[in-house]
């Protein structure tokens, strides 16, 4: 498990099934970071053994900071349907107020349930408005996955759980 110091940054490389693999860890080349670098190497090797790709590193973005590029993307994506874009922007006004500076990757199903409760109790919205808000958030989380801001869509997970229920 050799680690290399390249321009002050730790890199790892290893041989697996006759092929060399290596990558930068992004960590400063200090003794303190060697364990974390070895952990990254071990994760990469394990991913190769299991036949999966190494999961990309999550980029931490606060909800409000992530909302702007999402809304810009939405304007482009729905340019043929401007009312859809306006509906998403309207839904995001409350979402930005509720989630604020919370990291996107930490928003889970429990936070979505809290958001729903807040929308109904504080803002007294109708069910159709709440559905529009959840649809906009689901679209946002699908976009966030492609941007590596989170690994899952907490709204999609909740829907899958409810559809599997035989209640």
pLDDT at 162: 41
Domain annotation covers residue 58: no
Q: Are residues 75 and 23 in the same domain?
A: no
20 with 79, same domain? no
Beta bridge partners, 5, equal 10
Kindly state whether residues 118 and 153 are assigned to the same domain.
yes
Query: Hey, what are 32's tokens?
Result: 């303190």
Instruction: Give this prediction's pTM.
Output: 0.66
Same domain, 69 and 138: yes
Residue positions counted in the chain: 167
Mean pLDDT of the chain: 89
Residue 119 lies in a domain: yes
Q: Are residues 88 and 145 in the same domain?
A: yes
Does a structural domain hold residue 157? yes
**Per-residue pLDDT tens digits for 35-62:** 999 998 998 888 888 887 766 778 999 9
Tens-digit pLDDT profile for residues 77-104: 999 999 999 999 999 999 999 999 999 9
pLDDT tens per residue, range 12-27 = 998 888 888 888 888 9
13 and 39 share one domain: yes
Range of the domain at 20: 3-49
Q: Into how many domains does the chain fold?
A: 2
């Amino acid at each position: 498990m050799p680690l290399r110091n390249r321009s002050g940054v730790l890199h790892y490389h290893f041989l697996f099934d006759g092929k060399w693999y290596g990558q930068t860890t992004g960590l400063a080349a200090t003794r303190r970071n060697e364990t974390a670098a070895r952990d990254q190497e071990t994760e990469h090797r394990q991913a190769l053994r299991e036949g999966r790709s190494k999961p990309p590193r999550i980029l931490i973005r606060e909800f409000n900071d992530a909302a702007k590029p999402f809304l810009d993307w939405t304007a482009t994506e729905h340019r043929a349907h401007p009312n859809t874009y306006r509906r998403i922007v309207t839904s995001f006004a409350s979402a930005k107020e509720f989630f604020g500076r919370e990291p996107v990757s930490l928003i889970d199903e429990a936070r979505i349930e809290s958001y729903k409760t807040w929308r109904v109790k504080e803002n007294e919205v109708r069910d159709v408005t709440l559905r529009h808000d959840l649809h906009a958030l689901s679209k946002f989380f699908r976009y966030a996955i492609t941007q590596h801001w989170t690994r899952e869509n907490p709204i999609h997970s909740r829907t899958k759980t409810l559809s599997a229920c035989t209640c």
